[in-house]
C-alpha cells in the first residue's frame, strides 16, 4: 500500500499562521519535501518539529519527483512544502503532484496561507472573477503579456519583487491605463502595508528608489471600466 503525498501550506510571513492540521501533518509524516531546507528549517524549529527533510527545487524537480514517488510507493508519507504559502502557486512542486497522480498515489491538500487569497480578501476590489498572472515576464514578451491582461474582464492579481515593482506599476499604467488598485506589501509581517488608490497614485507612492523598498508585493488591479 502506497503512502500519501500531503501538499501543505505554510505561513507567508507570520509563523503563527501555520494551521493545527499542518503542524500535526508535518510531525507525523516520514519526510518533508522542502523547496529550501534552510527556510523550512526555521519553521520546523519554531514548532519543535524534527521530521527529516528532503530537498527539491525548480532545477531538480523532475528527478526529485521520481525519487519521492519511489518512497511513496514503498509506503512512506511525504509532506510537500514551499518556502512560503501554498505549494505549486508560482512555486515548483506541480511536477511532483502530477507524477504522484499518474502513479496512483493519493494526494491530499492541507490548506492554509496563500498570498493570492489574502491579498484579494483585503483589496476591496471585486473577487467574483479574478485572473492570477503570477510574475510578469521580465523582458521577452512583456508588452504582449500586458496587452493580453488589459483585455481581461476580471480583477488581476500580479506578484512582484521589490526590485521591479516600481517599473511594473509604471508599465501597467502605460499599457492598461488608469485603474483602481490595491498594492499589498509584506503581508502578515510587522511592516505590512496595503496601499489603496488609483494606479497612477500607486506609481507615485512606490516611485522611490527600488533599493529602499523591501518585501514581496501582490498587485491587485480592477477590471477595465470598474468604478467602485
DSSP 137: P
Percent residues over pLDDT 70 in the chain? 98
Pick from 57, 102, 55: nearest CA to 78: 55
Tallying the residues shown for the chain, one arrives at 228
Superfamily, domain 5-110 = Tetrapyrrole methylase, N-terminal domain (3.40.1010.10)
Position 58 scores a pLDDT of: 83
Position 172 scores a pLDDT of: 98
Residues 183/125, Cβ–Cβ less than 8 Å: no
The full set of domain ranges for the chain reads 5-110, 115-221
Digit-coded pLDDT (tens) for 56-104: 988 898 899 999 999 999 999 999 999 999 999 988 899 999 999 999 9
Task: Report d(CA 141, CA 65) in Å as an integer.
Answer: 30
Task: Report d(CA 65, CA 48) in Å as an integer.
Answer: 27
Position 37 scores a pLDDT of: 95
- C-alpha gyration radius of the chain: 19
Topology of the domain covering 115-221:
3.30.950
Query: How far is residue 76 from each of residues 18, 26, 30, 98, measured CA to CA in Å?
Result: 23, 13, 6, 18
Percentage helix, strand, coil for the chain under 3-state DSSP, each rounded to 5: 35, 20, 40
pLDDT at 211 over 70: no
Residues 69/103, Cβ–Cβ less than 8 Å: yes
Digit-coded pLDDT (tens) for 173-210: 999 999 999 999 999 999 999 999 999 999 999 986 45
- Which set of grid coordinates corresponds to residue 133? 498572472
Q: pLDDT-derived band of residue 1, with 50, 70 and 90 as boundaries?
A: confident
- Which set of grid coordinates corresponds to residue 68? 519521492
If you average pLDDT over residues 119-130, what whole number do you get? Answer: 97
Task: Report d(CA 222, CA 149) in Å as an integer.
Answer: 11
Beta bridge partners of 219: 158, 183
Q: Chain-wide mean pLDDT for the chain?
A: 95
Position 207 scores a pLDDT of: 83
Q: Count the Cβ atoms, other than its own, within 10 Å of residue 44.
A: 19
- Residues 6 or more apart in contact with residue 174 via CB below 8 angstroms: none
If you average pLDDT over residues 3-18, what whole number do you get? Answer: 97
Helix (H) or strand (E) holding 170: helix 165-176
pLDDT at 39 over 60: yes
Query: How far is residue 165 from each of residues 86, 206, 209, measured CA to CA in Å?
Result: 22, 8, 10
Per the model's pLDDT, the better-predicted residue between 139 and 144 turns out to be: 144
Q: pLDDT-derived band of residue 212, with 50, 70 and 90 as boundaries?
A: confident
Beta bridge partners of 183: 195, 219
Position 208 scores a pLDDT of: 62
Amino acid at each position: 500500500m502506497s503512502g500519501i503525498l500531503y501538499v501543505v501550506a505554510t505561513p507567508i510571513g507570520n509563523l503563527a499562521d501555520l494551521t493545527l492540521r499542518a503542524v500535526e501533518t508535518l510531525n507525523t509524516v516520514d519526510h518533508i519535501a522542502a523547496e529550501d531546507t534552510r527556510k523550512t528549517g526555521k519553521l520546523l524549529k519554531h514548532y519543535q518539529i524534527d521530521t527529516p527533510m528532503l530537498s527539491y527545487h525548480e532545477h531538480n524537480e523532475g528527478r526529485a519527483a521520481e525519487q519521492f514517488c519511489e518512497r511513496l510507493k514503498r509506503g512512506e508519507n511525504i509532506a510537500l512544502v514551499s518556502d512560503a504559502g501554498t505549494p505549486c502557486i508560482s512555486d515548483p512542486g506541480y511536477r511532483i503532484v502530477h507524477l504522484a497522480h499518474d502513479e496512483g498515489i493519493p494526494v491530499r491538500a492541507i490548506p492554509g496561507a496563500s498570498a493570492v487569497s489574502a491579498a484579494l480578501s483585503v483589496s476591496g476590489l471585486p473577487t467574483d472573477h479574478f485572473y492570477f498572472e503570477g510574475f510578469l515576464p521580465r523582458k521577452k514578451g512583456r508588452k504582449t503579456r500586458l496587452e493580453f491582461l488589459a483585455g481581461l474582464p476580471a480583477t488581476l492579481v500580479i506578484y512582484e519583487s521589490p526590485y521591479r515593482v516600481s517599473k511594473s506599476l509604471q508599465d501597467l499604467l502605460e499599457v492598461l491605463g488608469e485603474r483602481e488598485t490595491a498594492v499589498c506589501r509584506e503581508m502578515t509581517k510587522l511592516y505590512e502595508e496595503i496601499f489603496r488608490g488609483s494606479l497612477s497614485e500607486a506609481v507615485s507612492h512606490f516611485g522611490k528608489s527600488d533599493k529602499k523598498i523591501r518585501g514581496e508585493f501582490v498587485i491587485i488591479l480592477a477590471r477595465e471600466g470598474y468604478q467602485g
